Chain A
Amino acid sequence: MSGTSSVGWIDIVVILAYLLATGYLGWLGYRGTRSAADFLVGGRSAHPIIMAVSYGATFISTAAIVGFGGVAGLFGMSLLWLTFLNIGVGILIAFTVLGEPTRRLGHHLGAHTFPELLGLRYQSRGIQIFAGALIFLFMPLYSAAVMTGGSIFAATQFGIDFEVALLLFAVVTAAYVIPGGLKAVMYTDTLQGFIMVFAMIFLLVFTYSSLGGITEAHQYLTDMADLVPAPLQQMGHQGWTAMPAFGWGAPTYDLWWIVITSIILGVGIGVLAQPQLIVRFMTVRSRRELDRAVPIGAVFIMLMTGTPFLVGSLSNAWFAQHGPILHGKVVSQIDPAKDRALVELMKKTDSGDWTTIISPKTNKPATAPMIVSERTQAQAASGETFELVGGRSTAITYVKGDSDQIIPTFITSALPRWFGVVFFLALLAAAMSTMSSQFHTIGTAAGRDLYERIGDKGQAREPSILVMRLAIVLGLLIAVTISYTVRQDYIIARFTAIFFGLCAASFLPAYVGGLFFRRVTKAGALASMTVGMSVSLFWLLLIKAKEASAIGLVQWITGGKTSLLADYPNWPSVDPIIVALPAALLTLILVSAITRPPDAEHLRQCFPERKP
């Protein structure tokens, strides 16, 4: 389905106009008047819309839109729970509970990065270095997810190879983030945010109207439950408008554990411990600014994640109604009354007869559930005559099982050509606003939290701009390399979930404990971070089958198994966050309870507004 478009001159003009507008706003910011810090220095307040949309544009990226939208196309509307958490946790709890204490503590201690905030709060150089190293090492994984999402869309939209799209995307990213985009220019983020809002509203309205309305669209998708591919049914997929089957102890519950623990909880909770988002709270002028940003942030996130999750799911209905006609021969009936059948897919050869399509994944004939709409007699390559059926299938069939392709393929197939360009700009905007924050965080982690803190004999060094810039370039190269080499099932969502889960398990107890509880000690925080990270990495390397099998260590240890717990159903599908976060929290409490309380004078400096 991909590769049918090409780059036209209108596309180039529109994209160049957008890049020029972004560049102009970035230049205005570079002149020193429009960053979040400039607002504070000038004693002024950023408009709540600017603050909220800027935060949201950093939060939401191509990973959410292309990656998780595609996962919704694969697994269905159960992903709407992630949108629910994105608003409830990522906006409401983050802004109303964590925002102001983070801002105050950061300003009291003079912290400018997340590792520095933790390090100063706990009076520990080790904690700052630990957090800085973890960010520097693993943030490129998340950047790779963002880059892959943008590149897949560009490749599909403009009919170019993924590798070419990735190279172009990397060049644009470097051009944007290295000279000017790193300044977190709020007006640029806001322009990008508005483009994203327009694209999402249009996409949602178009999708519902092309399927006959909200209820009609949902009902059609509900009635397609019997078209769920067999491998997904065997994992517990019960249709695109239903939750996966819930239970424990059988492979038929695997999907529930994947969707709920990895996709929904990992990302839904992990957002609270995202370093690039936490530092945003420190750039806010006051609690009032945070309060005013809540409604705009909530509506923005609702559109940015709710739309792709709904559209991803509904793309199955659209392809079943309007997708290109596929051909093949019936293998078995699914529902004869509705003319639905499992079909072995075939293509016409140059000589005019029909041959079976071989799946490159399985090396067996490709089969797909189909709504049959036509039947004719045809001749196979062997010369025999058979009944050739034609019909439509789900989005999953059209993208050959690659969920990362679902949103790009739907946009290029269903929507007007001009919208594809606008949507590409929205994705570019989403990617740039997120990546500028990511690389800013990577740069400061390397320069400020690692290089400056790992001085000779424990003495802090002078800040090194060169180290920060080298770290950014290195981070970019690592992200591009990961994007180029790793192409697997719903990899965008998995990379994102890994990073979010790792941050949650490693940072969340120490961060929240540091904001609200005086009794949490340096030893407690460091032990909690160590346990959170170690359990997460252990689980990813040896237990979680999808990740562990891709890395390969577990096969080497067990002689071919994909998980240490491969013989215990559902365990290999459970996300590390389910084990690592409680373990880290428990460690924080226990170690803090048995170690000496922090210095009272230091606590007064951290929390001067609280009574002792």
Chain B
Amino acid sequence: MLGIDDPLVLTAYFGIIAMAVLSLIYGLIRRNAARDELTPEDRQWALEEKKVDDEI
């Protein structure tokens, strides 16, 4: 099939496409599934991260 005789290489070829499709489906299903909440702790972490970045 597709000019590739080795079934393992063919599996990898289609496996790549399957994995990308699986990721697309995952992204669509989970698009709004998780909470999108920015806690004060997250904000505090970001402020410190920004300080490190700015210093360097």
Other-chain contact of A285, B27, B36, B55 (Cβ < 8 Å): B36
Contacts of A217 in B (CB 8 A): 3
Give CA–CA (A84, B6) in the complex, Å. Answer: 16
In the docked arrangement, what's the CA distance between A440 and B54, Å? 12
Q: How far is the CA of A218 from the CA of B12 in the complex (A)?
A: 14
Q: Indicate if A553 sits at the interface (CB-CB under 8 A).
A: no
If A88-B19, A107-B42, A295-B26 touch, does A241 touch B49 (CB 8 Å cutoff)? no
Query: What CA separation (Å) do A448 and B51 show in the bound complex?
Result: 13
Residue A519 CB within 8 A of the other chain: no
Given A84-B16, A241-B3, A291-B26, CB of A40 within 8 Å of CB of B46? yes
Would you call B6 and A241 a contact (CB within 8 A)?
yes
Contact A288 B23 (CB under 8 A): no
Q: In the complex the two chains form, what is the Cα distance from A290 to B31 in whole Å?
A: 10
The docked-state distance in angstroms from the alpha carbon of A78 to that of B50 is: 43
Most buried by A among B41, B54, B56: B56
Using a CB–CB distance below 8 Å, which chain A residues touch chain B?
A: 32, 35-38, 40-41, 43, 45, 76-78, 80-81, 83-84, 87-88, 91-92, 96, 100, 106-108, 110, 112, 182-184, 214-222, 238-239, 241-243, 282-283, 285-299, 302, 306, 440, 443-444, 447-448, 463, 465, 468-469
Nearest 8 CB-CB pairs, A to B? A218-B3, A219-B3, A40-B46, A298-B23, A295-B27, A287-B34, A80-B12, A291-B30
Inter-chain contacts of A38 with B (CB < 8 A): 46, 50
Among the listed B6, B20, B37, B49, which residue makes an inter-chain contact with A298, where contact means beta carbons less than 8 Å apart? B20
Instruction: Compute how far the CA of A291 lies from the CA of B26 in the bound complex, rounded to whole angstroms.
Output: 8
A289 near B36 with CB under 8 A, answer yes
Is A444 touching B52 in the complex (CB atoms < 8 A)? yes
Q: Which residues of B contact A40 (CB under 8 A)?
A: 38, 42-43, 45-46, 49
The distance in angstroms between the C-alpha atoms of A471 and B27, with both chains bound, is 39
CA of A191 to CA of B41, assembled, Å: 31
Q: Which residues of B contact A (CB under 8 A)?
A: 2-6, 8-9, 12-13, 15-17, 19-20, 22-24, 26-28, 30-39, 41-50, 52-56
| List of A residues within 8 angstroms of B17 by Cβ | 302
Interchain CA distance A334-B44 in the complex, whole Å:
69
Contact B9 A80 (CB under 8 A): yes
Looking at the assembled complex, report how far the CB atom of A226 sits from the nearest CB atom of chain B, in whole angstroms: 14
Contact A84 B9 (CB under 8 A): no
B-side interface mostly: helix
Give the distance in Å from the alpha carbon of A287 to the alpha carbon of B30 in the complex: 10
A114 to B22 Cα, complex, angstroms: 29
Contact A243 B36 (CB under 8 A): no
Q: Give the most central of B2, B9, B15: most A CB within 10 Å.
A: B9
Contact between B56 and A295, CB atoms less than 8 A apart: no
Nearest neighbor of B53 in chain A, beta-carbon distance: A183
Question: Which A residues touch B27, using CB under 8 A?
Answer: 291-296
Residue pair B36, A41 in contact (C-beta under 8 Å):
no
Q: Which of A37, A87, A108, A295 contacts B49 (CB 8 A)?
A: A37
- Which residue in chain B gives the minimum CB-CB distance to A77? B9
Q: In angstroms, how far is the closest chain B Cβ from the Cβ of A280?
A: 12
Cβ contact within 8 Å between A112 and B52: yes
Contact across chains for A84 and B36 when beta carbons are under 8 A apart: no
**24 A-B pairs (CB sep. < 8 Å):** A37-B47, A45-B36, A80-B16, A81-B12, A83-B16, A84-B12, A107-B42, A107-B45, A110-B44, A110-B48, A183-B53, A216-B3, A217-B3, A218-B4, A222-B4, A241-B3, A241-B4, A241-B5, A242-B6, A283-B49, A286-B35, A291-B34, A294-B27, A295-B24
Chain B residues whose CB sits within 8 angstroms of the CB of A183 once the complex forms = 53, 56
The answer to whether B19 and A92 touch across the interface, beta carbons within 8 angstroms, is yes
Whether A286 and B36, one on each chain, are in contact in the complex, defined by CB atoms closer than 8 angstroms, is yes
Residues A463 and B19 in contact in the complex (CB < 8 Å), given A219-B3, A286-B35? no
Q: Which of B2, B35, B49 contacts A214 (CB 8 A)?
A: B2
Distance, CA A41 to CA B51, complexed state (A)? 11
Cβ contacts under 8 Å, A182 to chain B: 53, 56
| Distance in Å: Cβ of A178 to nearest Cβ of chain B | 10
Q: Is the CB of A43 within 8 A of B43?
A: yes
| Residues from chain B with Cβ under 8 Å of A465 in the complex | 55-56
Q: Which residues of A contact B13 (CB under 8 A)?
A: 77, 80
B9 cross-chain contacts in A, Cβ below 8 A = 76-78, 80, 241-243
Question: Complex: how many Å from CA A298 to CA B2?
Answer: 23
For the complex, give the distance between the alpha carbons of A37 and B54 in Å. Answer: 11
A32 to B49, CA, bound (A): 12
Q: Which residue of A lies closest to B27 (CB)?
A: A295
Cα separation A215 to B1 with both chains bound (whole Å): 8
Contacts A77-B13, A285-B36 given; indicate if A84 touches B19 (C-beta within 8 A).
yes
CA of A468 to CA of B53, assembled, Å: 11
Residues on B with C-beta less than 8 A from A283 are: 46, 49
> Across the interface, do A302 and B16 meet the contact criterion of CB distance under 8 Å?
yes
Contacts A83-B16, A219-B3; A92 near B45 (Cβ below 8 A): no
| Docked complex Cα distance between A306 and B46 (Å) | 35
CB distance from B17 to the nearest CB of A (A): 8
A243–B15 Cα distance when bound, in Å, is 15
Given A41-B43, A295-B27, A448-B52, 10 more A-B residue pairs with CB atoms under 8 Å apart are A80-B15, A183-B53, A222-B5, A238-B6, A241-B6, A294-B26, A296-B27, A298-B23, A444-B52, A444-B56
Q: B9's closest neighbor in chain A, by CB?
A: A77
A285 and B23 contact, Cβ closer than 8 Å, known pairs A35-B53, A41-B47, A291-B31: no
Known: A112-B48, A291-B30, A444-B52. A77 touches B4 (CB 8 A): yes
Give the Cβ gap from A17 to chain B, nearest Cβ, in Å.
27
Whole-angstrom distance between the Cβ of B50 and the nearest chain A Cβ: 4
User: Closest B-chain residue to A48, C-beta based?
Assistant: B27
Query: In the complex, what's the smallest C-beta–C-beta distance from A439 to chain B, in angstroms?
Result: 10
- A287/B50 in contact, CB under 8 A: no
B12 with A78: CB separation less than 8 A: yes
